[in-house]
Amino acid sequence: MQLYKDQNLRVHNSLTGKKEVFQPINEGHVGMYVCGPTVYSNVHLGNCRTFMSFDMIFRYFKHLGYKVRYVRNITDAGHLENDADDGEDKIAKKAKLEQIEPMEVVQRYTVDFHNTLQQFNLLPPSIEPTATGHIIEQIEIIKEILEKGYAYEANGSVYFDVIKFNKDHEYGKLSGRKLEDMIANTRELTAQDEKRNPQDFALWKKAEPQHIMRWPSPWGDGFPGWHLECTAMSTKYLGETFDIHGGGMDLKFPHHECEIAQAEASTGKSPVKYWLHANMLTLNGKKMSKSTGNNIYPSEIISGDNTILSKAYSPAVVRFFMMQAHYTSILDLSDEALQASEKGYNRLMEAMGSLDALKTGSKSDFDVLAWKQKCYDAMNDDFNTPILIAHLFDAVKHINLIKEEKESITEADKAELSSTMTAFVYEVLGIENQSLAKDDSNALNGVMELLIQLRNEARANKDFATSDKIRDELTALGIQLKDGKDGTTFSIN
């Protein structure tokens, strides 16, 4: 269904600082690129929040009926320790530290990244390209930028000429910085610097002999600059200009600013129509940081194995908690906040579970169609999930009143309410009903108890044909019965 034809979605564009009506370049299609992780350590909770925000955005576009191509990369080379183009490659450093191959580091943390995101019920992107898989494309873009005169070679490295670019374009327009101010606020170059100006950034870095991750290029053996991979992969899969580019707020400068410069220098076109930035997550009111210990990993929240929170929280509760804040707002995680979210989540799931059994009547005390449009209006206002959730709880209140027979609802309204709740809770917000899984195992335990009891009765009556049949049929289903001195237990293969 092409719901987007009836909905007027507006998104906050970081490039203009305004909410703008979303009009895709190709009708009915959305191209979205989000900067993925550098896979040299376990994924941080703050990064999870960013990817979850864009997962919700991806889901809403799909819900509206758009055909979405969502590209999220994996940075497996070229990301140096600091933004000034020096320091070691983050992946190579970890590999040296652990005495393993860089690709072992990449594999280990890519698996962690996927597992963690899957736990939080994130949908996989349409394409997940890697930097090392697109070296040729990156070299091609460097050649184009050199040809256009916006880059220069120095001692086997290639740098982007920011001063030259700024003469014909506007460097700093995304982050609201002026090149003059940047120049005034940076240190002078030292004699051994290869760059003409401190603002210049590397497109290609010469690999020193000890550097393990290296590729041949027209400028000698080296590796691509971090900013370049996103330009190469977004252009390759989404075209020279595409609809949405997303990422964490911290990537606005220099990363996204450099992406714009590279694309404009090579194609002459502005690469992105709408830039979307997700805000950060704090912990107990402070910035999360491994060095200060004010940090928690996703797995530690789920297992409860940490000193910061009083208990474990399910991934669905954590996701619900994240969705209760607007993606552009700072969100603070604390034990109290998670406890409150858990209560809210349980109330929501209880209401979802009672929808089917609601009795219907000849009139409705709840204007379902008006409520439904309010839900869409919230999402159409730059994906305002906290307002959407407030509307969902308004519905929960009515569901409970109908359950208590203090209000009534017609059959048609009930169907509308049910399908809208299901769409927003499960499909758009991606909140899983994990209490369902618990109910399933409760039901299974009950059935098994009954079967074990019947088998015991058959054995007591010396009806071995029946007792054996129960055991054999269960074995065929992959369920093993074990007779011990405390009775019979079962295990599932």
Residues that bind Zn ion (CB under 5 A): 35, 230
Phi-psi region of 91 (alpha: psi -120 to 50; beta: other; left: phi over 0): alpha
**Helices marked H in 206-285 — which ranges?**
226-238, 257-267
Identify residue 123 by its one-letter amino acid code.
L
Nearest distance from C-beta of residue 255 to Zn ion, angstroms: 5
Q: Count other C-beta atoms under 10 Å from residue 410's C-beta.
A: 15
Nearest distance from C-beta of residue 26 to Zn ion, angstroms: 23
The secondary structure of residue 256, as a DSSP letter, is I
Q: Is the distance from CB of 493 to CB of 451 less than 8 angstroms?
A: no
Nearest distance from C-beta of residue 227 to Zn ion, angstroms: 7
Burial category of 291 from C-beta neighbours within 10 Å (exposed 0-12, middle 13-18, buried 19 and up): exposed
Distance of CA 440 to the CA centre of its chain: 28
E strand residue ranges, 64-200 = 67-72, 151-154, 157-160
Q: Count other C-beta atoms under 10 Å from residue 163's C-beta.
A: 14
Nearer Cβ to Zn ion (262/324):
262
E strand residue ranges, 79-207 = 151-154, 157-160, 201-206
Nearer Cβ to Zn ion (35/388):
35
Nearest distance from C-beta of residue 34 to Zn ion, angstroms: 8
Nearer Cβ to Zn ion (64/230):
230
Nearer Cβ to Zn ion (33/320):
33
Nearer Cβ to Zn ion (223/424):
223
Residues constituting the chain: 493
Nearer Cβ to Zn ion (106/355):
106
Nearest distance from C-beta of residue 35 to Zn ion, angstroms: 3
Nearer Cβ to Zn ion (138/467):
138
Q: Is the distance from CB of 166 to CB of 179 less than 8 angstroms?
A: yes
Nearer Cβ to Zn ion (238/481):
238
Nearest distance from C-beta of residue 72 to Zn ion, angstroms: 10
φ/ψ (deg, to 5) at 363: -140, 165
Q: Which long-range contacts (CB under 8 A, 24 or more apart) does 21-24 make?
A: 22/243, 22/274, 24/66, 24/243
User: In whole angstroms, what is the distance from residue 493 CA to residue 489 CA?
Assistant: 13
Nearest distance from C-beta of residue 230 to Zn ion, angstroms: 3
Nearer Cβ to Zn ion (234/341):
234
Nearest distance from C-beta of residue 202 to Zn ion, angstroms: 15
Going by C-alpha positions, the residue among 251, 254, 231 that lies closest to residue 182 is 254
Nearest distance from C-beta of residue 90 to Zn ion, angstroms: 14
